[in-house]
Amino acid sequence: MEYDAIILGGGAAGLMCAARAGQRGRRVLVLEKAAEPGRKILISGGGRCNFTNLGTAPDRYLSANPHFAKSALARYTPRDFLDLVEAHGIAWHEKTLGQLFCDGSARQIVAMLLAECAKGAVEVRCGADVTEVGHTDGLFQVGADSAPSLVIATGGPSIPRMGATGFAYDLARRFGLKVVEPRPALVPLTLGGDDVLFRELSGVSAEVIASAGKASFREAALFTHRGLSGPAILQVSSYWRPGDPVRIDFLPDRATGWLIEAKRQSPRAGLRAMLREALPERLAATLAERLGCEGDIGNLPDAALRTAEARLAGWTFVPNGSEGYAKAEVTLGGIATAELSSRTMEARRVPGLYAIGEAVDVTGWLGGYNFQWAWASGVAAGDAL
What burial class does residue 115 get, using C-beta atoms within 10 Å of its C-beta: 0-12 exposed, 13-18 middle, 19+ buried? exposed
Q: Rounded to the nearest whole angstrom, what is the least distance from the CB of residue 91 to ligand FDA in the complex?
A: 17
Q: Which is nearer to ligand FDA, 11 or 227 (CB)?
A: 11
Under the binding rule (CB under 6 A), the answer on residue 368 touching ligand FDA is: yes
Q: In the set 18, 44, 151, 223, which binds ligand FDA (CB under 6 A)? A: 44
Residues 266 to 295 in contact with ligand FDA, rule: CB under 6 A: none
Under the binding rule (CB under 6 A), the answer on residue 358 touching ligand FDA is: yes
Under the binding rule (CB under 6 A), the answer on residue 235 touching ligand FDA is: no
Q: Which is nearer to ligand FDA, 359 or 381 (CB)?
A: 359
Q: What is the DSSP letter of 361?
A: S
In Å, what is the CA distance from 198 to each residue of 130, 227, 314? 45, 7, 16
- Per CB under 6 A, the segment of 43-51, 189-197, 284-292, 294-302 that binds ligand FDA is 43-51
Q: Which is nearer to ligand FDA, 32 or 219 (CB)?
A: 32
- Per CB under 6 A, the segment of 54-62, 162-170, 239-247, 248-256 that binds ligand FDA is 162-170
Q: Rounded to the nearest whole angstrom, what is the least distance from the CB of residue 374 to ligand FDA in the complex?
A: 4
Degrees to nearest 5, angle at CA 38 with 32 and 42: 150
Can you spell out the DSSP letters for 193-259? GGGGGGGGGTT-EEEEEEEETTEEEEEEEEE-SSEEESHHHHHHHTT--TT--EEEES-TTPPTTHH
Q: Name the amino acid, one letter, at 61.
A: Y
Degrees to nearest 5, angle at CA 166 with 189 and 169: 120
Q: Which residue's CB atom is positioned nearest to ligand FDA? A: 11
In Å, what is the CA distance from 383 to each residue of 22, 83, 374? 9, 18, 14
What is the three-class DSSP state of 183?
strand
Query: Sheet of 134-136: strands edge to edge?
Result: 134-136, 139-142, 145-147
Under the binding rule (CB under 6 A), the answer on residue 114 touching ligand FDA is: no
Q: Rounded to the nearest whole angstrom, what is the least distance from the CB of residue 264 to ligand FDA in the complex?
A: 47
Q: Rounded to the nearest whole angstrom, what is the least distance from the CB of residue 53 to ligand FDA in the complex?
A: 7
Alpha-carbon distance of 323 to 224, in angstroms, equals 11
Residue count (the chain):
385
Q: Rounded to the nearest whole angstrom, what is the least distance from the CB of residue 379 to ligand FDA in the complex?
A: 13
In Å, what is the CA distance from 381 to each residue of 75, 349, 352? 12, 16, 10
Q: Which is nearer to ligand FDA, 102 or 246 (CB)?
A: 102
Under the binding rule (CB under 6 A), the answer on residue 63 touching ligand FDA is: no
Residues 191 to 210 in contact with ligand FDA, rule: CB under 6 A: none
Site of interaction with ligand FDA (CB under 6 A): 8-14, 31-34, 39-40, 43-45, 49-50, 128-130, 153-155, 158-159, 163, 165, 167, 329-330, 357-359, 368-371, 374
